[in-house]
Amino acid sequence: MNYQGRKISLVVIRRLPRYYRYLGELISQDIKRISSKDLSEKMGVTASQIRQDLNCFGGFGQQGYGYNVEELYYEIGCILGLNDGHRTIIAGAGHLGHALANHGGFEKRGFKLIGIFDNDKSKIGTIVNGVEIRDIAKMGAFLKENPADIGILAVTRDSTKEVAKEMIQHGIKGLWNFSYVDLDVPDDVVVENVHLSDSLMTLSYRIGEGKI
Amino acid sequence: MNYQGRKISLVVIRRLPRYYRYLGELISQDIKRISSKDLSEKMGVTASQIRQDLNCFGGFGQQGYGYNVEELYYEIGCILGLNDGHRTIIAGAGHLGHALANHGGFEKRGFKLIGIFDNDKSKIGTIVNGVEIRDIAKMGAFLKENPADIGILAVTRDSTKEVAKEMIQHGIKGLWNFSYVDLDVPDDVVVENVHLSDSLMTLSYRIGEGKI
């Protein structure tokens, strides 16, 4: 990971979306600036952690003033690559695919859904959140005409590898993978695996705390 | 966080589900033991990190032997509170609720779905993964007869606080919250918020790496 020649650890990167969400809330509350102390209390992390994280990117705060909320929001958006937008497709129009297509937060953060694909004839031709479900057999042809950079894998486990391969062949650079399959991808393609059960297992631990 | 009197950081706890998943895969491949070096290569973390993490819980490895896969899987299951099982309900039988109810991984990890609730009359009475969708107005009465410890919040943002309150009143100790609402809960109740867009934003950063 690097930003303007600096090496940034993935641990820091993974905290940025949270800063971004909180700053977005502050903007909606019309808050113009915030100290690292107030931001840290709101987010439940230490002020020194926040300063350290944001210093990785050159530091946006000013001594005695704190952070300019809109500026910091915009800058983190730049770092995360959100401000230019991402053209996104979903493979799999089952319940998960529908839930993701209807997720209000994605478009707000610059992820524009341009296509959704399935092999179920009863679904093809229906509309989800303004986007027509198309035959997954025609996904490659669609991508040739309508390039996209993010592919969401919400298909069954069995077909994940095949669908991922076709997405990559047609220029997808980032795969958001909801199936529990490890994917081998070329060096210029990245995969984020979503393991929902990890968060459920953490909840289980926290319920049990003190009982052990 | 503490385990047998030791203080364990949440950062370590959050890594345990991943160990648990990998060990489960090794078991399904009939692998009996593994060195911390091999486990670390498989998981993409350092061997010293693995030793350090597992030492928090007393350390299960033996010098020159590595880890007994089944034993370590069982022990991590104990730490995470998975081996006794959790009685789980879902509020909200929309696409997300259906996707979660049908998620194969949860039951395998000890989360038994005993009820699913919605206010949509066209859904009430239908069956999802063997469980009947019931009227959410009767959720409290159901929980009196059928105690549960985990409540999954897959309802709309507007009704999340109210539904969470009712779950807590009827004995739910852990809330798995998919709506973007901060919940105030009593000290003996824990909340895990799922922010899917955080992982999508991290993907966006990783696609853009080097472009900045």
Partners of residue A190 on adjacent β-strands? A174
CA distance B143 to chain A (A): 18
ipTM of the prediction: 0.89
Rounded-to-integer distance, Cα A89 and Cα A132, Å? 11
Most A CBs within 10 A among B11, B86, B176, B204, hence the mutation to make, goes to B204
Segment 82-121 of chain A within 8 Å of chain B by CB: 82, 86, 94-96, 98-100, 102-103, 105-106, 109-111
CA distance A175 to chain B (A): 8
Q: Do A195 and B79 touch (CB under 8 A)?
A: no
How confident is the model over A130-152, as pLDDT tens digits?
A: 999 999 999 999 999 999 999 99
Residue of A nearest to B181 (CA): A25
Residue of B nearest to A192 (CA): B203
In this predicted structure, the answer to whether residue A67 has a pLDDT above a threshold of 90 is: no
Residue A17's pLDDT band (cuts 50, 70, 90) = very high
List CB contacts (< 8 A) between B190 and chain A. 203, 206-207
Segment 179-198 of chain A within 8 Å of chain B by CB: 180, 190, 192, 194-198
CB-based contact, A205 to chain B, within 8 Å: yes
pLDDT at A155: 96
Residue-range domains of chain B with CATH: 2-78 (1.10.10.10), 86-197 (3.40.50.720)
Report the residue from B95, B173, B196 with minimal CB separation from A207. B173
DSSP assignment of A150-166: EEEE-S-HHHHHHHHHH
How confident is the model over B120-151, as pLDDT tens digits?
A: 999 999 999 999 999 999 999 999 999 999 99
First to last CA, chain B: 39
Report the residue from A190, A195, A209 with minimal CB separation from B206. A190
Read off the amino acid at residue B159: S
* Burial grade of A127 (CB within 10 A; 0-12, 13-18, 19 or more): exposed
CB-based contact, B134 to chain A, within 8 Å: no
- Per-residue pLDDT of chain B (212 residues), as tens digits, is 455 555 677 778 888 998 999 999 899 999 999 988 888 888 878 888 888 888 776 656 666 778 889 988 998 998 899 988 999 999 999 999 999 999 988 888 899 999 999 999 999 999 999 999 999 999 999 999 999 999 999 999 999 999 999 999 999 999 999 988 889 999 999 999 998 989 999 999 999 874 44
CA distance A62 to chain B (A): 24
Entry field: residues in chain B: 212
pLDDT at A42: 82
Rounded-to-integer distance, Cα A172 and Cα A179, Å? 17
CB-based contact, A147 to chain B, within 8 Å: no
pLDDT at A210: 46
pLDDT at A211: 47
CA distance B2 to chain A (A): 7
pLDDT at A59: 59
CB-based contact, B212 to chain A, within 8 Å: yes
Q: Do A86 and B2 touch (CB under 8 A)?
A: no
H helices of B44-130, in order, are 47-55, 69-79, 95-101, 104-108
pLDDT at A192: 94
